[in-house]
Amino acid sequence: MTMAVRRREGAYRVYLAVAVGLIAVAPVVRMLFLALLEPASVGWLTSPDFLEQLRVLVAAVGPVGMLVGTVRGPALRTPFATVTLGSNHLPRKLTLRGPFLKSLIAAAAVSAAVVCLPGAALVVGLGAPPLSVVACAVAAVAVASLGVVSALLGQVLVGPRVWACAVLLGVWGASPFGPGQWFAAAWAGLVGDASVGITGPVLLVAAAVAVLAGVPGLLDRLRGDALLLQAARRESASVAIATGELAGAAAMYRERPTTGRRLSAVVGGPRVLGMLVRDAVGAMRTPQRTVLGALGLAVGAVLLGLATVPSGAPELPGAVTTTGAIAGIAAVASVLMYLALGSFADGFRHAADAAVGAAVFGTPVGEQFLLHAVFPVALVVLVVGALVAISGGGPLPILVGLALVAVRAFDAARGHLPPLLLTPMPSEVGDLSVVARLAWQFDGVLLSVALGLGLALPWLAGAPALSVATLVVATSLLALATAARLRQGRG
């Protein structure tokens, strides 16, 4: 009976995956495929700039995977299974082999699919050899294997050794003898001479086989306390997602304070200076999160600058010279900057918690939000301003960053899911309550896209005054909306 139930559950999961793929995924894939067949897209995929972007992207797989493995590794079971299997005589290379293989297969499948889509577009639009697409897909699978093993290594290591290994992996990945150069060679074989690209996949497969051979030893070195901590985080995050609390799920994976415990966060003087020091010390106590946030802020600013500088447009790949592509890149850059600013928005969350709790601080809630805004605003001015000064671009990325600080303050005052959104909303196309809940959960992302486009498009059209006016109006409205959310939370 149990085997029959399992077979039925497996068949239903296959049916569900096929149905979702045909209804939701297939139209998106078709749209992307048709977009990649455009001459501008084909020119971008075959340009030297794209090869360099591929090299940098693949070089970052190793260090990023290692840092991700410190909070959520590939060899992970449920807390109950972790305690049960961790307390018996079986080695971890046997008890944790299953979840690691699932992670490896999932990463390999996604990587191969991502590479095959533009590869198929080049076969149809440029007449590239299909075998070269297969070689690039094999190379992508090898890169995914390197990333998953790097995540496993990050799951094993602790402390500064993780950062040291991540830096070494980044240097190796970006070197002429690293995965970045090898994958770029494989892609060059796809868009040029097929004989040129055979070396890259061969070297990547050899490197993947070499690192996969060390997986059993790494699995045996996993510590029980680290496994249980990650398993508990994953289960708590799953419960938060199931109840519609995505912010709570993200909080489960927030870095715990590790350094700077002896740094004093309380100083005298003006309140502005005191709050700035407190927020800065808090950021220093989570160095990994702070560094990644600053890097995300910088990358988003660079993307936004490249997409909205008219003088640089002819030098960019053809895919970013159209209005639609520019708007897409500006939207992605805005979302990236919004996510990066989350590393510096702990002050807003603290002020929001203080607003709904007992009044134990002498500073009004509105003033607390304004004081906590000084630190992220200073980060935007310093990080983004330095990039703008070095590149000689316009101040648009700074304006977008300042607007996104207001979005972060609005997001911090979110509170719990309103019960009204749990009631059904029947319509001709189905229950719209799901759409309403998704809009409520991702309102920060949607506002980031809207503000990014609302500031970037007028600037690109030669109306910077309209962008500045949009910034002033948007931040004022967000301040009023934040105050309304706080009042609703107190009520």
Give 388-398 pLDDT, tens digit per residue: 888 777 788 88
Same domain (yes/no): 73, 149:
yes
Q: What is the per-residue pLDDT across 452-480, written as a single tens digit (0 to 9) for each? A: 888 888 888 888 899 899 899 999 998 88
- pLDDT band (50, 70, 90) for residue 323: low
Question: In terms of pLDDT, which residue wins out, 313 or 324?
Answer: 324
Query: Residue 321's pLDDT is what?
Result: 46
Q: What is the mean pLDDT of residues 281-302?
A: 82
Helices 48-59 and 61-69 sit at what angle, rounded to 10 degrees? Answer: 30
Q: What is the mean pLDDT of residues 273-302?
A: 81
In a 3-state reduction of DSSP, which class is residue 427? strand
Same domain (yes/no): 300, 439:
yes
Same domain (yes/no): 99, 224:
yes
Mean pLDDT rounded to a whole number for the chain = 80
- pLDDT band (50, 70, 90) for residue 144: very high
Query: Residue 319's pLDDT is what?
Result: 37
Question: In terms of pLDDT, which residue wins out, 195 or 25?
Answer: 25
Contact indicator for 399, 471 with CB cutoff of 8 Å: yes
Q: Say which range, 199-203, 419-423, 440-444, has the weakest mean pLDDT.
A: 419-423
Same domain (yes/no): 451, 308:
yes
The pLDDT of residue 205 is above 80:
yes
| Dist. CA 60–CA 83, nearest whole Å | 34
The pLDDT of residue 168 is above 50:
yes
Residue 367 CB partners (closer than 8 Å, separation 6+): 271
21 lies in some domain: no
* Percent of the chain whose pLDDT exceeds 70: 82
Question: In terms of pLDDT, which residue wins out, 475 or 251?
Answer: 475
The pLDDT of residue 146 is above 90:
yes
> Phi first, then psi: what are they for 431, rounded to 5°?
-80, 115
Same domain (yes/no): 128, 267:
no
Question: In terms of pLDDT, which residue wins out, 89 or 318?
Answer: 89
Query: Residue 153's pLDDT is what?
Result: 92
The pLDDT of residue 318 is above 50:
no
| Dist. CA 319–CA 78, nearest whole Å | 44
| Dist. CA 477–CA 458, nearest whole Å | 19
Q: Say which range, 196-200, 312-316, 355-359, 436-440, has the weakest mean pLDDT.
A: 312-316
Residue of 86, 82, 354 lying closest to 235 (CA atoms) = 82
Question: In terms of pLDDT, which residue wins out, 275 or 316?
Answer: 275
Same domain (yes/no): 223, 281:
no
155 lies in some domain: yes
Which residue range(s) make up the domain with 355? Answer: 260-415+430-490
Number of domains observed in the structure of the chain: 2
Same domain (yes/no): 161, 304:
no
* Percent of the chain whose pLDDT exceeds 90: 13
Question: In terms of pLDDT, which residue wins out, 315 or 221?
Answer: 221
Same domain (yes/no): 201, 143:
yes
| Dist. CA 164–CA 179, nearest whole Å | 19
Contact indicator for 182, 142 with CB cutoff of 8 Å: no
Q: How far is CA 106 from the centre of its chain?
A: 18
Query: Residue 314's pLDDT is what?
Result: 40
Boundary of a domain, candidates 188, 211, 229: 229
293 lies in some domain: yes
Centre a 10 Å sphere on the Cβ of residue 134 and count the other Cβ atoms it contains: 16
Same domain (yes/no): 132, 200:
yes
Q: In this structure, what is the dihedral angle of CA atoms 41, 42, 48, 50, given to the nearest 10 degrees?
A: 50
Task: Retrieve residue 215's tokens.
Answer: 């997986």
- pLDDT band (50, 70, 90) for residue 142: very high
18 lies in some domain: no
Boundary of a domain, candidates 229, 247, 271: 229
- pLDDT band (50, 70, 90) for residue 206: very high
Q: Could you tell me where the beta strands, DSSP code E, fall in 236-322?
A: none
Boundary of a domain, candidates 179, 213, 229: 229
Same domain (yes/no): 271, 223:
no
Same domain (yes/no): 361, 299:
yes
Question: In terms of pLDDT, which residue wins out, 240 or 126?
Answer: 126
Degrees, nearest 5: CA angle 49-54-55: 95
Residue 289 CB partners (closer than 8 Å, separation 6+): 254, 255, 283, 343
Query: Residue 462's pLDDT is what?
Result: 82
235 lies in some domain: no
The pLDDT of residue 11 is above 80:
no
330 lies in some domain: yes
Same domain (yes/no): 203, 87:
yes
Q: What is the per-residue pLDDT across 339-363, written as a single tens digit (0 to 9) for each? A: 888 888 888 887 777 766 655 556 6
33 lies in some domain: no
Query: Residue 317's pLDDT is what?
Result: 41
Cα distance between the two ends of the chain = 53
Q: Say which range, 76-85, 166-175, 269-278, 312-321, has the weakest mean pLDDT.
A: 312-321
Q: What is the per-residue pLDDT across 93-121, written as a single tens digit (0 to 9) for each? A: 888 888 899 999 999 999 999 999 888 88
Q: Say which range, 1-5, 59-63, 146-150, 400-404, has the weakest mean pLDDT.
A: 1-5
- What is the pTM for the complete model shown? 0.74
The pLDDT of residue 242 is above 70:
no
- pLDDT band (50, 70, 90) for residue 73: confident
| Dist. CA 474–CA 480, nearest whole Å | 10
Query: Residue 311's pLDDT is what?
Result: 44
Report, in angstroms and rounded to the nearest whole number, the Rg of the chain calculated over CA atoms: 25
The pLDDT of residue 143 is above 90:
yes
Q: Which residue has the tokens 């699919």?
A: 113
94 lies in some domain: yes
